[in-house]
Structure 1
């Protein structure tokens, strides 16, 4: 696995030792970080490296509803690798340690997957195409007993030809459903160990159960897939957590963190450092830095209180995740007028300027920034600028009169809106405070109901009215170069659509954008979608979430990855010498 890649975006500004890095600047930073490998042998190698993230780790399964909004992708990318990983540029990068995926000729998209002949789990059970079949079954939407976060791509697969226990499989997509982002499927953290599920569920042949649509067997499989990999500190049955990557889980506790150690059955290059300790948000990152437990930090800028990053090389970079409000579609917000009232009182330009990161320069060379105006296009896509015009100047500044009028359309002259997010988070607390001040004149009282136990499912359960989070309501690192995850979080029936927004035309557009990459289609349909979405307002995008990424002085091979993978994407290459 390569030690470094380049990434993108953002105009350079500096304050203290933290740099906000753009295009060429970040490229230089990342390449420099990667080039440090092997450049210096001075100092003694430290046998353990601490890695702090801004999210919880509640499950081994990053594909479930709970897992997709947890830190599982950051923690387990090198514990449960797949046929690809999300690289720093935001796109899928083939991971040939696991195997190969190659398109075959034919009208229907058909991919041949071949697992590495040496691939084996840490418990000695070989990897097999059973793992692919389980991944498809769980994420396809065909079997609703599985609580998968998203069906993107997997719902377009017609069948998987797999002989139980074999090392190869042929995946055939439905006619006319040539999913353009297919290279991201079956990637890091998506393939869970089928043999573990089979044993726990009492289903000896998962492939046969899927092929025969055995509802009884699949219900037992889903029960374990949904909840069987829940992770509580101090309470792990390690037999249920076999690894397919260079690291495996050794332990998880409040005091010692999530400990990953070298997997002695790994067939690829040995990890450069034998022990990585992942420190979730609940572990008090500031205290862990203070006591020397953390050498790598990857958090949303301003999200962790009282960080002292002296002795670290620090970079602030815009990420692939869009900071946004995700709105309920019940209560006050059942009527789109209620959602428009909230959106109208938001000072989006002010929020982007104060809490985002500069992304371009004006004619004088001064750094400027602005709010994100699209939900279904990536900022570096060819059609992004044109599609962003669909907002038409709406919802840029707080408009008390418009908010008051929209609120009146719901039959109310006042309302209370509860905003939830994973706390403590000083940056998001400031955002909510700014919104509360802007919305009060319109009769809208905004309450901050953040908590350390917060999850986006509270929106669906009616415990909050709005979620403040990143792409697809993820509290921490999120996003890729493709708009796939963001689009599907607005599609009816997809569980990462936490506000339960439903619009038949938007569903049709999402389905078409997923299989048609032509510029004309992307421009036409994305613009139509944004016109609908700025009228319905199921979400309000704010700005590209800034990330603070810090590597302790002396750490080699640290490489920024401002995507859902986070800095831990290449943790098996990290070396720390002192």
Structure 2
């Protein structure tokens, strides 16, 4: 059971080597292997639970993908790769779509508890959207899930508590083509921990029966029990199912990952990884030679000296964008259109979004003209015609749209996670471009910014990546991009709601006929450019750097970050 994943990693390394692999250091054999590698990534360490709204919007999968494993993980090109160390998943014939999951019989968490199908039942229950509680305006979700995409289509998860096997059966009228995005790394949480803390003896029977008292306690823990606070961690809540486990975490010392002694797969090549998140002084760490791998937004750190590193600046799967409120000052679609008309999208790309040697087509070839269509998709040229009027700098058009909105001297606060030099420049350019149209733009970036501040009305727009993430984001399947605009989705921070859009995305998920897909994507993009819940800018450029002597580093400009294969890293100096 251990060999297949290592073969997959080697195959991916070969395929990716031409464009995204860090060169293996020549002549390293005579050098000593460094026992600890520093990894800087501009995610924030806020939650262990990548399926929660907080986890998904802060970059949990970019940090914990090799700590909390699953049936699939995101590979370097943004594709879903089967992790057969964890278990196997296959679609089986039947009237309803059915997936058979089988966990590795050797699988065991770092606390000694065997992996089981209980974890799948918890993930499905939390993300199905079917469990609610009373709210002021009607029922609200019991679980604060990032999205219900795919999970909401599941009718049931057949699982005997403690078993290694599970059968997932979808609703008779539903088909979910992207089922490999379910029960994945960073999102499949340890149900035994939730059961213990919530005092629920059998979490499977409680969730399957819908016991309201047990559900309430489990949901309360699932929502916040895996969050990282400022105090010491109760490590019994954070067991690992991967090659690394958490040893410690603090703002001063970063996140320390060490080899998981109970890991049943190939032992990590380096026993200790120090993860440094967004809020550290990266210039200082690089100066101390503390870094082996760096994965950050291009231009986000001013005057960063990466001499001695092999540096790549690449466009990512993440969409740099303005995510707009659909209430408050931007409750008027006319004012959202005014902002979209004056935002200098072409100029922003030319100055801040264009990487050296940018391709003529595909990712990073120009301003991003789609909300949910991948820029390197065959559908992209045909589905994005509605973006043509929003090149930017249309002051007369923006002025007219402001007048139509009846807003008096509108002020728009744009929030993002500081420090970020490129995003600060982005806001400054938008401010200057929109001022002649009578729109005042305020830089509301903050060191403690979270995307939820848009929902809370503290800002009017988010400047960030896909689903508002500050760091690595996006994937080949684009599930998060689509989910972030669905009615009721946790990562839909602007609270956009459109029944037609929801219906289109349901059809997209079920029908993979190319003609149907093109028609649906064109309809979706026309609708989104008309309603403007967000303003796409460009494929977020990433700076990915590997230190001298770092072996097996393969850049991944997507939601997994370049730490996707950190258990294979070797640093020799």
Residue 3 of structure 2 corresponds to which residue in structure 1? none
Is 1:224 aligned to residue 233 of structure 2? no
Displacement after TM superposition at 1:239 (Å): 0.8
Q: Deviations over 1:167-188 (max 9, x none)?
A: 0000011123211110121110
1:148 equivalenced with 2:175 (yes/no) = no
Contact 1:328 1:538 (C-alpha < 8 Å) held by counterparts: yes
8 Å CA contact 2:110–2:245 kept in 1: the answer is yes
Distance in 1, matches of 2:301 and 2:94, equals: 51
Question: Is 2:56 aligned against 1:68?
Answer: yes
Query: 1:386 corresponds to which residue?
Result: 382
Are positions 1:490 and 2:480 aligned together?
Answer: no
Q: In the superposition, relative to structure 1, how do residues 369 and 30 fare at CA in structure 2: closer, same or farther (>3 Å)? A: closer
Change (3 A) 1:355 1:410: same
1:360 maps to 2:355:
no
8 Å contact 2:22–2:553 — kept in the other structure? no
SS at match of 2:541: strand
User: How far apart are 1:433 and its partner, in Å?
Assistant: 0.3
Quote how far apart the aligned CAs of 1:485 are: 1.2
Partner residue, 1:286: 283
Structure 1 residues 65-464: aligned runs within 5 Å? 65-143=53-131, 144-357=141-354, 359-361=358-360, 369-391=365-387, 393-464=388-459
2:465 corresponding residue in structure 1: 470
SS of match in other structure, 2:377: coil
Deviations 1:394-446 (A, max 9, x none): 11021111111111112134211100000010000000000000000011010
Q: How does 1:31-70 map to 2 (within 5 A)?
A: 31=21, 33=23, 36=24, 40-70=28-58
SS of equivalent residue, structure 2 residue 185: coil
| Secondary structure in structure 1 of the residue aligned to 2:44 | coil
Q: How far 1:379 sits from its partner (Å)?
A: 2.1
Shift of 1:7: 9.8
Q: Which residue of 2 aligns with 1:20?
A: none
For 1:5 and 1:147, the matched residues in 2 are separated by 37
Whether contact under 8 Å (2:76, 2:556) holds in the other structure is yes
Query: Aligned with 1:28: secondary structure?
Result: coil
- Equivalents in 1 of 2:26, 2:202: separation in Å? 47
Q: Provide the aligned length of Structure 1 versus Structure 2.
A: 555
1:37 deviates by 8.9
Gaps of 5+ in 2: 1-5, 132-140
Question: Deviation string for 1:291-325 (max 9, x for gaps)?
Answer: 12211100010112331111111001111001000
Q: Equivalent of 2:559, from 552, 557, 564?
A: 564
Separation in 1, partners of 2:229, 2:128: 28
Aligned position for 2:549: 554
How far residue 458 of structure 1 moved from its aligned partner, in angstroms, is 0.4
Counterpart Cα distance in 2 of 1:216 and 1:284:
45
Kindly indicate whether the alpha-carbon contact (under 8 Å) linking 2:195 and 2:203 is maintained by their aligned counterparts in 1: yes
Specify every segment of 5 or more residues in structure 1 that has no aligned partner in the other structure, as ranges.
9-23
* Separation of aligned partners in 2, 1:119 and 1:83: 12
TM-score for both structures, normalised by structure 1 = 0.93
Cα distance in 1, alignment partners of residues 351 and 494 from structure 2: 27
- The question of whether the paired residues in 2 share the 8 Å contact of 1:4 and 1:557 is answered with no
The Cα shift of 1:82 comes to 0.5
**Closer, same or farther in 2 for the Cα pair 1:344/1:76, shift >3 Å?**
same
Give the superposition deviation at 1:98: 0.2
Tell me the CA shift for residue 369 of structure 1: 3.8
- TM-score in terms of structure 2 length: 0.94
Task: State the shift of 1:44 in Å.
Answer: 0.5
CA RMSD after TM alignment? 1.8
C-alpha separation in 1, matches of 2:13 and 2:391: 29
Give per-residue Cα distances to partners, 1:40-88, cap 9 Å, x unaligned. 4220110000000112101111111111111321111000010010001
